[in-house]
Every structure is written in structure tokens, then in C-alpha cells.
Amino acid sequence: MTEDQAGQAAAAAGSAAELGARDYRLLSEFRYLIRCFLEFSETAAVRAGLTARQHQALLAIKGIREDAAPTIGYLAERLRIQHHSAVELVDRLVEAGLVVRVPDPGDRRRVRLELTVLAERHLTELSASHLAELKRMRPALLEILDQAEAKTMAKG
């Protein structure tokens, strides 16, 4: 354990003693809203003819950071899955006509992932509905975050 990790653990232990019923309700409500959003997302993906994981993969590829390359390794990291699982997922995406593998022009050993027109269509529809759902949930999420911040500010 590094010094920084030890300091964080000590701070967490000290703040854990200060947790009250309100804090647990706040965390419970936050997790509930996350679960509601994930359930919405999974249902929307299935209605679009995709699995939730396929939708997540397409979004990760489309929403890639500017300083990254859309590779299988990147996808594995963004989806928090093992590399071999990402390979299998990409195989299924290619088979479904949603992704193509393209040799990286800067490094022929590396393969980049690109969305097909079909994937772009699915993602546009799903992303619009997801943004609308986030907008609907925004007041509840902001209330939770504001309460959490108020507690932090009161301590410091």
C-alpha cells in the first residue's frame, strides 16, 4: 500500500464513523437511479435489436477520447472486460455487420475498429433516447450530488 492509499484509507475510516441515516439514503437513491438508467438502456438496446453490451461497445467506439485509438484493448478498458472477452464481442459485432476491423496505417500490427452505417444508425437512435432520459433524470441526480457536496463542504 502506498502512502497515498494509506492516507485515503485512514480518511475513509475517519469519515465512515460520521455517516448517518441520511448518507445511506443518499447513496441508496443514487444507486437506484443508476440502476433505473441501466435498465432503461438495456431495454432500449434490445428494442433496437442489440444486446446491452453491443450498445456499450458501439458507444465506446463512437465516443472515443481524442488521444486514444479505437482498438480492442481500448474497448476492453472502456467496458471493463478482459481482452479475450473484447475480442469475442468484436467478432460478434463484425458478424452482425456493426463493426469492421481496419489495419492501423501508423502501426500495421494494430487493428482499429470502425462503426458501419448500420451501427451509426442504431447509435444515433439510442443516443437520442438516452440523452432524453438523462435530461428527465437530471433534477433527481443533481439533488443527490448537491446534498453530497453540501455534506462535504460542511465537513471541510
Check residue 87 and give its pLDDT: 98
Go through the domains of the chain in sequence order and give each one's CATH number: 21-155 (1.10.10.10)
Check residue 152 and give its pLDDT: 78
Q: What is the Cα–Cα distance from 94 to 114, expressed in whole angstroms? A: 10
Check residue 18 and give its pLDDT: 84
Check residue 80 and give its pLDDT: 98
DSSP string, the chain: --HHHHHHHHHHHHHHTT--HHHHHHHHHHHHHHHHHHHHHHHHHHHTT--HHHHHHHHHHHT--TTS---HHHHHHHHT--HHHHHHHHHHHHHTTSEEEEEETTEEEEEEEEE-HHHHHHHHHHHHHHHHHHHHHHHHHHHHHHHHHHHHHHH-
Profile the chain (156 residues) by mean pLDDT over runs of 10 residues.
58 69 95 98 98 98 95 97 98 98 90 98 98 98 93 75
